[in-house]
Amino acid sequence: MVKNITKKVLYIDDEPEMQLIVKTCLQTLGGWEVEVAKSGTEGLVKAEELKPDAIILDVMMPGMDGVACLQQLQVNVKTQTIPVIFLTSKWSLTERCRFSALGAVGAIAKPFDPLTLVPQIAKVLGWKLENSNTLN
C-alpha cells in the first residue's frame, strides 16, 4: 500500500479571520498540512524551518509586506525554490504582471470562494487533488 504524502503549506497573513478561513479550507478541503505566520518576518523564519511545499502570501501587511517578504525568500538559498502564490485584494492586470515579474508562481484574488480556493492553488502548483475533499 502506498502512503499518501501530505502537502505542507505555509500561509502568511496578518489578519486572524483570513488565517482561520484559509487554514480551514486548505486542511479540510485539500487535506494539506497548514502552518500560519502572522507577519512577513515570522513567515521568513517559518519558511526556513518548515521547508513547505508552497507558500501562500498576503500582499498587504504592516511592517514587511508580501512583496518584500517574497524578495527575502528569493535571496535565501534555503527558501528560494519554494513556490509562492499571492492571495491579494490588489487585483488588476498590472498587479498580476508585477507579481509574476517578481517571481510569484500565481496570484488569487480576495475575496475568494472558499470552495474553489484549493482547486485554484492546486492548479497553479500542478498538484493533483484525487485524495482531497474538494467538490471538483
Sketch the domain layout of the chain as residue ranges: 8-124
Q: Contact, 65 vs 40, CB < 8 A?
A: yes
Q: 8-124 adopts what CATH topology?
A: Rossmann fold (3.40.50)
In the predicted model, is pLDDT for residue 125 greater than 60?
A: yes
pTM over 0.85: yes
Question: 45-85, pLDDT tens digit by residue?
Answer: 999 999 999 999 999 999 999 999 999 999 999 999 999 99
Share of the chain above pLDDT 70, in %: 87
Neighbour count for residue 42 (Cβ, 10 Å): 17
In the predicted model, is pLDDT for residue 42 greater than 50?
A: yes
